[in-house]
Structure 1
Amino acid sequence: MFQIEPLPASEFTHLSSLSDAELAQKGIQVHVSDGAFPCRVSLADAAEGTRVYLLNFEHQPGDTPYRSRHAIFVAEGAREYRPEPDTVPDAVANRLLSVRAFNQAHEIIDAEVVEGRALEGVIASFFDNPDVDYIHLHFARRGCYAAKVTRTAWT
């Protein structure tokens, strides 16, 4: 079983209190969604007309050669959404994904590119390997971090 993890809303709520000039000073761009901006907090495409922040985010802080940061979108006022275990949200399932399996030392030990609708099989295959500690999903076309996948307890 697996769980797709959103980014915590608490890390981004302060952005709405910043002026556009302050956001720009921090390298954060503001866009208006056309309905196809995938929010990493809500794990959904931001509704058309919603303000979204485009910012750089360190999604892989492990002190290894795989340490990484990349662009992400976060919708203004986004609420954290944790899907049911073994569920892939549409904003993830509808995109081409780069799926990267990491061990406890935060090193990539397996990777695959897959259409999002086939993600469950890749996750199951990666988690069959006991050395896989967690998985990162990236939107393959632009390389942006999408979400983290963890194991859930078998019930």
Structure 2
Amino acid sequence: MFQIQPLPASEFSHLYGLSDAELAAKNIQVHYSDGGFPCRVSLEDVAEGTRVFLMNFEHQSGESPYRSRHAIFVADGAEECHPEADTVPEVIACRLLSVRAFNRAHEIVDAEVIEGREVDDQIRTFFENPQVDYIHLHFARRGCFAAKVTRTAWS
């Protein structure tokens, strides 16, 4: 069994409500959603017209050659969504994905590029390997981090 993890709202709440100029000083771009901006906190496509932040985020902080950061979107005022175990949010299921399995040393054990509708099976396949500690999902076309996947306690 698996759990898709949102980024914690607490990492971004200090940005909520800041002016465009204050955000620009932090190298954060402000955009207004056309309905297709995937928020990494709410795990939803942000509603049209909603203010979103485009920022650089370190999604792979493990001390390994795979340490990484990339652009992500977060909606202004986003609240965390915690999907039920073994559930893939539509924001992930509807996109082409790069799925990367990591071990405890934060090294890639396996990886695939798949359609989002196939991710449930791919996650289960990767977690059959006892070396896999966690999985990162990326939106394959732009390479942006989407979410972390962990094993559930009863896996």
* TM-score computed with the length of structure 1 as normaliser: 0.98
CA contact under 8 A between 2:38 and 2:45: conserved in structure 1? yes
Deviations 1:18-44 (A, max 9, x none): 221121121100000000000000000
CA contact under 8 A between 2:43 and 2:91: conserved in structure 1? yes
Counterpart-to-counterpart distance in 2, 1:115 and 1:2: 18
CA contact under 8 A between 2:17 and 2:76: conserved in structure 1? no
Cα displacement (A) at 1:112: 0.3
CA contact under 8 A between 2:17 and 2:77: conserved in structure 1? no
Give the structure 2 partner of residue 37 of structure 1: 37
Give the structure 2 partner of residue 114 of structure 1: 114
Cα displacement (A) at 1:144: 0.2
Q: May I ask how many residue pairs the two structures share in their alignment?
A: 155
Give the structure 1 partner of residue 152 of structure 2: 152
Counterpart-to-counterpart distance in 2, 1:137 and 1:92: 8
Give the structure 2 partner of residue 7 of structure 1: 7
Q: Kindly indicate whether residue 112 of structure 2 is the aligned counterpart of residue 105 of structure 1.
A: no
Residue 130 of structure 1 aligns to a residue in which SS?
A: coil
Give the structure 2 partner of residue 137 of structure 1: 137
AA aligned opposite 2:105: A
Q: CA RMSD in A?
A: 0.9
Q: Percent identity?
A: 75
Counterpart-to-counterpart distance in 2, 1:8 and 1:153: 20
Counterpart-to-counterpart distance in 2, 1:17 and 1:50: 12
Counterpart-to-counterpart distance in 1, 2:79 and 2:16: 13
Cα displacement (A) at 1:138: 0.2
Give the structure 2 partner of residue 27 of structure 1: 27
Alignment gaps of 5+ in structure 1: none
Superposed, which structure 2 residues align to 1:78-89 within 5 Å? Answer: 78-89=78-89
Give the structure 2 partner of residue 92 of structure 1: 92
AA aligned opposite 2:26: K
Counterpart-to-counterpart distance in 1, 2:131 and 2:59: 20
Counterpart-to-counterpart distance in 1, 2:76 and 2:25: 18
Counterpart-to-counterpart distance in 1, 2:63 and 2:112: 23
